[in-house]
Amino acid sequence: MYSHASIVVALGALAAAAPQLPTLSAATAPIAPVRSSQVTGATSHGPYSGTPTVTGALTKPTLMATIPHLPAPAPSYTNANGLLQAPNQPVAYQPAGGIKTNGTEPYYHPLSDFDYESFTLALYQEWIELDLFHHGLARFSAAEFEAAGLNAEHRYLIEFMANQEVGHSTLLSNILGAAAPPQCTYNYPFTTVREFIDFCQRLTRFGESGVYGFLGHLDSQDAATLLLQSITTEARQQMIFRQFQGLFPMPVWFEVGIPQSWAWTLLAPYISSCPANTTRLAWQNFPTLAILDNPNTNAINPQINANASYNALNGSDPSPSTVLGNNYCVNATGATEDCDASISQNRTYPLSYPGRPIYLRWGNAGQPIGPNNSYITARSPVADAPRYAMFVNQLNATYVPLQNISGNTAVAIQPNTSTFAGDPTINGTSFIAITSSNIYVTPYNLSMINPFVYAGPALYSSG
């Protein structure tokens, strides 16, 4: 405990060097503990080579194969004149309506299995981010960061992002309660700084989108509010990693949401093992999808050698950085050809374009995946054949028929679609899945596609 006098003395010493600062003492409040400190948690990184003690997602008896469409009920509110429609309002300046605006005490915990499983998935995601950001900083030297265009101030920002994950994982653990999963050990797909940054950019993309997909569906809108306040910082992380890569920071008008099973499919391959008795998940692991000519984010011109085997990326794997020769964009001399860290950057050569052929290869159902290889890739009975590439980005899901299907491979042509005039839908790090059906879905019922997903998603570097 400092006495008031010693604070005044300390500030007095500061004031000698700096402009005069006020010397009133601030109010202080209790400091809440964190679930994980900076240095604890897993440090081993590599694949798992054991036999799992349990396998498969959590399940209960299922009621049906697909969820039937229900018509929307007649809206209980319409407003065509812009005036207050209710006969009165609860207090001055507060219009009638809203959820729990009537004084009901908030309850910041799951209210259903849907809520619990969604928050548990989000916590699995926060734990890997905490480990990943620390690991990248520890694994690569300052010189390696500098050679990739990232200086000490950039590295401090990554460190700060890791600290944010301490807060996020604590918040989610507190929301979940006693059985909240702990941190696991991870198996990362990068060997260079550029690949690390690209992997972070992709991982935060599906982390952010995975939460947007379920936030509005949660039974506990109270807890959803807290999660929203953490996922907005994750959204900033995603954009900052793009800036670190010298990519255009936000080439879209809307950020996309995806279903939980899509996020889990992308996340699980990078979790090596979890401690005994870690709470398990109920979401589906779809068969792996690889984009064989994924545009290389480290290339000046990503169309050169786009089809080379090193650009065949499973799921959320990063673009390789050491194979490009003089097509490597770090320190390239043209103002729009280099990809050093930058607030904003035009590209001379686009990552992708409408009409681009996208070569796809999918894995099989029944493959072990995820922590301890204890989950099994699966497709539902109605995912009976690969028929469409489904492009999901911004507000839109667009189906393109697969062509030249041969074994586990096919080709799809990047579509030419827009959200609204002037905004091409497919830009930034977007999602592609293989489906058996092209049912019409919109952002709030996107998960209706899940029974028809044949493989994927995979992340497509577009724009």
Ligand X SMILES: *[C@@H]1O[C@H](CO)[C@@H](O)[C@H](O)[C@H]1NC(C)=O
Would you say 62 or 333 has its CB closer to ligand X? 333
Q: Given the DSSP bridges, would you call strands 428-435 and 453-462 parallel, antiparallel or unpaired?
A: antiparallel
**Closer to ligand X by Cβ: residue 171 or 193:** 193
- Cα–Cα distances (Å) from 43 to 8, 67, 191, 228, 427, in that order, read 43, 42, 16, 29, 35
Region for residue 355 given its phi and psi (left: phi exceeds 0; alpha: psi -120 to 50; beta: otherwise): left
**Interactions with ligand X, residue window 342-361 (CB under 6 A):** 346, 350, 353-355, 357, 359
User: Nearest distance from residue 428's CB to ligand X, in Å?
Assistant: 7
Site membership for ligand X, residue 424 (CB under 6 A): yes
Q: What is the DSSP string of 105-156?
A: PP--S--SHHHHHHHHHHHHHHHHHHHHHHHHHHHS-HHHHHHTT--HHHHH
The span of 31-39, 50-58, 112-120, 195-203 binding ligand X (CB under 6 A) equals 50-58
User: Which residues in 357-386 contact ligand X (CB under 6 A)?
Assistant: 357, 359, 363, 367, 372, 374
**Does the footprint of ligand X cover residue 100 (CB under 6 A)?**
yes
Q: How far is the CB of 235 from ligand X (least distance, A)?
A: 18
Are 186 and 53 contacting, i.e. CB atoms less than 8 angstroms apart?
A: no
Q: Out of 49, 53, 78, 141, which residue is the one contacting ligand X (CB under 6 A)?
A: 53
∠ CA 308-294-249, nearest 5°, is 135
For residues 154-193, which are near ligand X according to CB under 6 A?
none
Smallest distance from the beta carbon of 271 to ligand X, in angstroms? 10
Residue with Cβ nearer ligand X (85 or 151): 151
Q: Is residue 288 a contact residue for ligand X (CB under 6 A)? A: yes
Which one of the spans 113-121, 170-178, 216-224, 271-279 is the region binding ligand X (CB under 6 A)?
Answer: 271-279
Minimum Å distance from CB 442 to ligand X?
4
User: With respect to ligand X, which residue has the nearer C-beta, 116 or 188?
Assistant: 188
The percent of the chain in helix, strand and coil, each rounded to the nearest 5, is: 30, 15, 55
- In whole angstroms, give the CA distance from residue 100 to residue 5: 46
Among 46, 90, 177, 275, binds ligand X (CB under 6 A): 275
The reply to whether 112 sits near ligand X by the rule CB under 6 A is no
Return the residue of 291, 330, 434, 453 that touches ligand X, per CB under 6 A.
330
For CA atoms 300, 306, 312, 314, the dihedral sign is positive
Q: Which residue is nearest to ligand X (CB)?
A: 363
| Shortest reach from residue 322's CB to ligand X, in Å | 10
The residue written with tokens 């092209």 in the block is: 438
The CA–CA distances, whole Å, from 105 to 100, 222, 346 equal: 8, 9, 49
Between vectors from CA 62 to CA 60 and to CA 66, what angle results, nearest 5°? 145
If you compute the radius of gyration of the chain from its CA atoms, what whole number of angstroms results? Answer: 24
Scan for tokens 């949401």, then name that residue.
257
Contact set with ligand X (CB under 6 A): 50, 52-54, 69, 99-100, 102, 104, 146-147, 248, 251, 273-277, 288, 290, 292, 307, 314, 330-331, 336, 346, 350, 353-355, 357, 359, 363, 367, 372, 374, 395-396, 403-404, 411, 416-417, 419, 424, 427, 439-442, 445, 448, 463
